[in-house]
Amino acid sequence: MKRLLAASFTLAVCQNALAFVPAPPAIDGTSYVLMDYASGDILASKDPQARVAPASITKVMTVYIAFDLMKKGQLHADDPVLISERAWRTGLDSSASRMFVKVGSQVPVAELLKGIVIQSGNDAAIALAQHIAGSERAFAELMNQYAVKLGMAHTHFDNATGLPDPDHYTTAHDLAILARALIHDFPERYKLFAEKDYTYNQIHQLNRNQLLFEDPSVDGIKTGFTDAAGYCLMASALRSDRRLISVVMGTKSEKYRASANESLLNYGFRFFETDRLLGAGSPALQARVYKGAVENVAVGTQEPVYLGIARGSRDQLKLVPQLQSTLVAPISAGQRVGEATITLDGKPVKQVPLEALQAVPQGGLWRRMVDQIRLWLED
């Protein structure tokens, strides 16, 4: 799994900039997070680290694991999955979230994934978990391993469905991290989350994410509801090549969870923008190299660094690079040589490690001798 380059960037920083950003919408729910996808920066939040029950949003992790195993060649779309009595009975006990698979039948992985994502089928989730790990308990342990790798520091999974349990919990911020990883790591497979309906066993069901039907920019992700969790929704929207993620937990109705997410997404697109800095073609500086075959090396980052900032505050961004020490060849490409502080309106908002963007081998004998004398004189 690729670890994304990200650092939290709070709304307060944006509000301190010269650009005006009004207060975020008042959301009547337990907690919420609005995240800029490219940077991972938090644009707005309410109690983002509050422990909450994830309900069926849990199934996003179930699907993430399946996608990852498919990417690794350890699971295949056409693999048949035997439907156990437990999976079938769980479906019977939760008719509101059911794919209607039959006990003893064999269902391909691809169909179960549709049943989980579109129909939120508890029966499908348990069947897939049992197929992958042997039991749902073992699968929950796998879920927790993935949570650690993704940086979901305040999450613990007890099952693959989201059915209530005291040891099954997360936070709005951790769920935003999961959503970002899902979209980043599996961009093609993520398209499944935009499907509006699915028919299985001659039973047609609609996706419970109302925003898919109301906002053409929304392409996912997952709803959830239990009495303990309330009505929850993890959503994502793409407008003009810019993506935002919203997670709203613990609201009072299906209609309100949709309108709350829509309000947050509109707020983020209206008052914030995503800025791109650095990257292989935009070095932070050309640094002097002693005893090298060349005198200078480009220093920066191989991948772009993104920031979610208040719209109109781009002119207040400043990059302040600093080398760790004098650079002396040989230097390898990718070698860490310093760090850069990014400031907004004079206030630091992110620090980024800097590396040499090209290798610099040692120069000839004469170059090394001359530069050694220069180093002595500078000291």
Q: In the chain, what are the domain boundaries? A: 11-273, 278-378
255 is an active site residue: no
pLDDT band at 186 (very low <50, low <70, confident <90, very high): very high
pLDDT on residue 96: 59
Of 46, 59, 291, 350, which residue is the catalytic one?
Answer: 59
Span 313-319, average pLDDT: 91
Pairing of strands 296-300, 336-344: unpaired
Calculate helix-pair angle for 109-117, 122-133, nearest 10 degrees. Answer: 140
Mean pLDDT score of the chain, rounded to an integer?
92
Of the candidate ranges 1-5, 97-101, 159-163, 309-313, the one whose mean pLDDT is the lowest: 1-5
Contact by Cβ (8 Å): 219, 264: no
State which CATH number among 2.60.410.10, 3.40.50.2300, 3.40.50.10310, 3.40.50.720 fits the domain covering 278-378: 2.60.410.10
Span 209-220, average pLDDT: 97
Contact by Cβ (8 Å): 328, 287: no
Cis geometry, peptide bond prior to residue 221 (ω within 30 degrees of 0) = yes
Contact by Cβ (8 Å): 235, 221: yes
Q: Check pLDDT > 50 for residue 11.
A: no
Pairing of strands 327-328, 106-108: unpaired
- Of the candidates 142, 102, 94, which has an alpha carbon nearest to the alpha carbon of residue 122? 94
Span 318-340, average pLDDT: 94
Of 56, 246, 263, 313, which residue is the catalytic one?
Answer: 56
Of the candidate ranges 1-5, 52-56, 84-88, 203-207, the one whose mean pLDDT is the lowest: 1-5
Of 84, 97, 120, 246, which residue is the catalytic one?
Answer: 120
Helix (H, G, I), strand (E, B) or coil at 274: strand
120 is an active site residue: yes
pLDDT band at 336 (very low <50, low <70, confident <90, very high): very high
238-294 pLDDT per residue, tens:
999 999 999 999 999 999 999 999 999 999 999 999 999 999 889 999 999 999 999
282 is an active site residue: no
Gap between the Cα atoms of 52 and 37, Å rounded: 22
Gap between the Cα atoms of 186 and 55, Å rounded: 23
Q: In the CATH hierarchy, which top-level class contains the domain 11-273?
A: alpha beta
270 alpha carbon, distance to own chain's centre = 21
User: In 161-196, which positions are buried (b, 16+ CB within 10 angstroms) versus exposed (e)?
Assistant: bbbeeeebbbbbbbbbbbbbbbbbbbeebbebbbee
Predicted model pTM: 0.89
pLDDT on residue 280: 87
Evaluate whether 11-273 and 278-378 have a shared fold. no
pLDDT on residue 254: 95
Calculate helix-pair angle for 59-71, 172-185, nearest 10 degrees. Answer: 30
